[in-house]
Structures are given as C-alpha cells and as structure tokens.
Structure 1
C-alpha cells in the first residue's frame, strides 16, 4: 500500500501493519535521515475523502517522540518531508 524512500537508499515497501489503520517503516541509522519520501503504491487507494497522516518517531528520554510531518491522499499520493533534528 505504501512505499518509503530515503536519499541514497533502496526504496522500502516493507511497511509493518501495527494496527488496522497504522503502518510503520523501520529506518536504520535514522539519525542521518534529512528527508523522507512517502508514497502510495497505487494498489490500494484511501476511502473517498480520507488520507493518511505521516509521522516520524524517534527515541528520547522518557519514551518515543512522534513528529507530524504531513499527509498523503489519493489526490496527493506522494510527498517529500524534511526531518528536523531527531535528538
């Protein structure tokens, strides 16, 4: 359903579905990631009027931090997101 691309790396299509409406990509060496592209593969569209929020998560003192990056929809099926200073 989704793909993820970090510059200089292979495309990832191995999102893990962690709940009915949540998918997670593991980004090794996340500290070196400046931008990430998230895109729909075109196999399964969102229901009409729906879209998906894109978050970046990283570990921090006291637990995980979740940073909202933006969104994708059927009308905007891909986007480039800037990752601002993880830790």
Structure 2
C-alpha cells in the first residue's frame, strides 16, 4: 500500500483548488470588483478628456488598462474554462 499514500496526497491537494472553482459568491465578488475597478479607471481617463485636453499616451494607457480590468472581471464571472470542460 505504498502507492496509496501518493493518491491520497494528490486528492487532498486537488480538493482546495476544486472548492474555489465552484464558489459562485467568490466569483461574483471578485469579478464585480474588477469590473468596478475598470470602470473607475475608465472614468478617470474620460474625466481628463472631457476637460478639452487631447488624449495623450497616459489617457490611452488608462483606457486600455481599464478595459483590461473590466474584461478580466467578465471572464471571471462567465468562467468559460469551467464550462468548456464538463466533469
């Protein structure tokens, strides 16, 4: 029974990873937080542009970063990896 110890350790290591993938509340909070952070960054970039200043490199970088944060939040909420591989 020397091989069964490794199987038990592998199952114990995989259990916490599986636990967090099924937590809808965790995904909703983190995904919503990332979408909110992305919206905040986008609003800050738009505030500078609404003052009449031409969009510079900093404003463009803020817009790209804000869109990246928001899209990351959507990916966490939708969870395409978990749905593409049924159990």
TM-score by length of 1: 0.22
Relative CO higher for 1 or 2, CA cutoff 8 Å, sep ≥ 6?
2
Higher Cα radius of gyration: 2
TM-score by length of 2: 0.22
Which one has the bigger helix percentage? 2
Which one has the bigger strand percentage? 1
